[in-house]
Amino acid sequence: MTDLETRVATPPGLRRAAPALLGFAAVRVLGLLVLAGWSAARDKSAYTLLTARWDALWYTRVAELGYGYEVRLPDGDVHSNLAFFPLLPWLERLGQQLTPLSYADAGFAVSVVASLAAAWGIFAVAELLYGRRAGVCAVLLWAVLPVGIVQSMAYSESLFTALAAWSLYAVLTGRWLTAGTLALLAGLTRPVGAAVVAAVWAGALAHLLRERRAGRPLPVRPVLGVLLAPLGAAGYVLWVGHRTGGGPLGYLDVQAGWGNGFDGGVAFARFIAAKFASPSPGSVLAGLGLLAGVALVIWLYTVCVRQRQPLPLLVYAGVVTALALCASSYFGSKPRLLMPAFPLLLPLAVALARTRVPRAGTALGAVAVAAAVYGAFWLNGSGPP
């Protein structure tokens, strides 16, 4: 067993996690207040932007009407709601049936609860590896991401991050059935659930190899965790293939109707190159910003490797990052798609934890204000996040 597995690793209680959760809640409230003011000044509803626009609207339609709704575009593309994985709509439907909430209200409630659970899970992982202060810093860094407002939207990112973080914590502490079950649920939440499955498999394989080298009998629980982990994603993808008649790869056809696919980053590279080909100075600046963002993400992952993060975290963050950067999907969503890759923030959290509290607090506060303003500007724009 690893040193992490042999610790008495009880999940941190609310008292230990309270500073992280209170800080996270404060950042989210700030973001919502700025969004409300910005939206009101433009005669828009902040709540509608959070719960009934873009992907949130598609999720509520699945919750209310089930699968089968689609929109045919003039160019022949078909946007089908089969592209959206079912766990969030299931929870929205459950909330609508058990409470006075509407489907959209239930989606917002799920997001609020799930974002706190995600913050708690991130704290648990970071504290286990680097101590309590690093855990608090990791949560606050995740909260003040420029796209952090998505954590308060009726989207699936918060729910997925919560399931992923706690699954990774379960892997690190040798709770294999819990890890596999949470990976199963993550696989029912977003296509990137494959990253959680890969992390569970990597952790279990490393554990089994250590047990074999030590001459001990192979344990059953890691094997069961490995078998459980892919059932959610595989089950939904196969169901979609059966429903559409497209076979095992039918889900890829559904995604293609939305213009989504995996091309190794070719389309994204062309998108960035087009910014530099434009005569507009603003376009060139946008291209430089995109290059800087990609370089930062790659640099952070390199630091994670050098920091010798546990293999499951490296696998998880690597798969999330690769799927986000190398997909041919709507390019404005890439920052949102990277949001679940919280292990990338751990090197920054460790460095911040070594900084004096007043200086760290001032820096995080300034970034939180900037993120709140950017989030309000972003959601009041024309395109989806």
Three-state SS sequence of the chain: CCHHHHCCCCCCCHHHHHHHHHHHHHHHHHHHHHHHHHHHHCCCCHHHHHHCCCHHHHHHHHHHHCCCCEEECCCCCEEEHHHCCCHHHHHHHHHHHHCCCCHHHHHHHHHHHHHHHHHHHHHHHHHHHHCHHHHHHHHHHHHCCCCHHHHHCCCCHHHHHHHHHHHHHHHHCCCHHHHHHHHHHHHCCCCCHHHHHHHHHHHHHHHHHHHHHCCCCCCHHHHHHHHHCCHHHHHHHHHHHHHHCCHHHHHHHHHHHCCCCECCCHHHHHHHHHHHHCCCHHHHHHHHHHHHHHHHHHHHHHHHHHCCCCHHHHHHHHHHHHHHHCECCCHHHHHHHHCCCHHHHHHHHHHHHCCCHHHHHHHHHHHHHHHHHHHHHHHCCCCCC
Predicted local confidence at residue 332, as pLDDT: 81
Question: Which among 174, 209, 179, 221 is positioned nearest to 196, based on CA atoms?
Answer: 179
Predicted local confidence at residue 222, as pLDDT: 96
Predicted local confidence at residue 261, as pLDDT: 87
Q: Which helix or strand (DSSP H or E) is residue 199 part of?
A: helix 193-213
* pTM, entire model: 0.95
Per-residue pLDDT of the chain (385 residues; tens, 9 = 90+): 455 654 545 667 888 999 999 999 999 999 999 999 999 999 999 999 999 999 999 999 999 999 999 999 888 889 999 999 999 999 999 999 999 999 999 999 999 999 999 999 999 999 999 999 999 999 999 999 999 999 999 999 999 999 999 999 999 999 999 999 999 999 999 999 999 999 999 999 999 999 889 888 889 999 999 999 999 999 999 999 999 999 988 999 999 999 888 888 898 889 899 888 888 888 889 899 999 999 999 999 999 999 999 999 999 999 999 999 998 877 788 999 999 999 999 999 999 999 998 999 999 999 999 999 999 999 998 878 8
Predicted local confidence at residue 75, as pLDDT: 83
Predicted local confidence at residue 10, as pLDDT: 62
Instruction: For residue 335, give the amino acid letter.
Output: P
